[in-house]
Structure 1
Amino acid sequence: MKAFPLALRHGALSGSLASILSAAALAACGKRETGSMFAAVNAISHWLWGDRAALRDEPSFRHTALGYAIHHASGMFWGVLFERYVSRILDRKKVAPTLAAAAGATAVACFVDYQLTPHRLQPGYEMRLSRPALLLVYGAFGAGLAAGAWWLRRR
């Protein structure tokens, strides 16, 4: 298990990559399903502005920037947990354990997001995107975790 300061540094990278890749998936799926590449990210701001935030399609600081900031902070949170608790698996020089650990961490994040979290603190983009799109978003998130962990191991 990694020491917490090291997990923070490594988790910042893995979590940031997970955030960026999943935000790109949110934008692409949002554009395809709602006509707005900002709609799904705007919906995340429902944490502060209520469910009406999910109806916003245009970019704004209030919804888009805040939505992405929440999304990024969440990605970094999961990245730190991922790096902290799966470091024994990721110390090996193999890709398969990294992918499996990232998939597991992503499944746990999805379960927590939709089964253990009150509606107000759920991601929000489920109000704008289909289930197949959510699968793509979470897949991109897992790919970001795996890419960060793999890059850190290769350094």
Structure 2
Amino acid sequence: MSVPSAILRSFAGRTLRSGSAAAIATTVVLALRARAEGQHVVQPVNATSHWFLGDAAGRSRAVDLKHTLGGYLTHHAASLLWAGVFEALRLWRPQRNPLGDAALVATFAAVVDYAVVPRRLTPGWELVVRPRSIALAYTAMGLVLATAAVGRRGGR
């Protein structure tokens, strides 16, 4: 059974929009939390590059291609992945509550990111901010995903 191309295009567009919004929102939340915790606002983004630069990436306060762009592109790609999971749920069960689906995906993402994958593949935020701040970032992701769905006709 093949999926009609219109559905695939819609899914891709929704994933791109909701994932990009989630990436931006979580980046802002982490920057604000880093500042509140006495760190530089760019450190959480830089820390995400630890998977290829090592843990010292979390100490970098510089805005540069290697740490900041590499970290942000990694984070954005991961946000698109989780948005894709969310959008697939919305296609599969559109009658479900989008807030519940978003909470499920955000929780699943946190568990995978911090309890399943090897330490080297975590988001790296733990190198910079406290667990409470990380939880707030995943909460922001869930709220943005739900808002994206609710903003569409019928919450789909």
Cα offset for 1:6?
2.8
Question: Taking structure 1 as reference, are residues 60 and 34 closer, same or farther at Cα in structure 2, changes over 3 Å only?
Answer: farther
Instruction: State the partner residue of 2:78.
Output: 74
Q: What residue ranges of structure 2 are gaps of 5+ in the alignment?
A: none
Per-residue CA deviation, residues 60-91 of structure 1 (Å, 9 max, x unaligned), is 12111111111111101111111012334445
Mapping for residues 5-154 of structure 1, pairs under 5 Å: 5-91=9-95, 97-153=97-153
State TM-score, norm by structure 2: 0.88
AA aligned to 1:103 is: A
SS of match in other structure, 1:66: helix
- Among the aligned pairs, what percent are the same residue? 32
Question: Greater CA deviation, 140-149 or 102-111?
Answer: 140-149
Number of aligned positions between the proteins: 151
Separation in 1 of the partners of 2:94 and 2:76? Answer: 23
Larger RCO, structure (CA 8 Å, separation 6 or more): 1
State TM-score, norm by structure 1: 0.88
Where does structure 1 differ by over 3 angstroms across 4 or more consecutive aligned residues? 1-5, 88-92
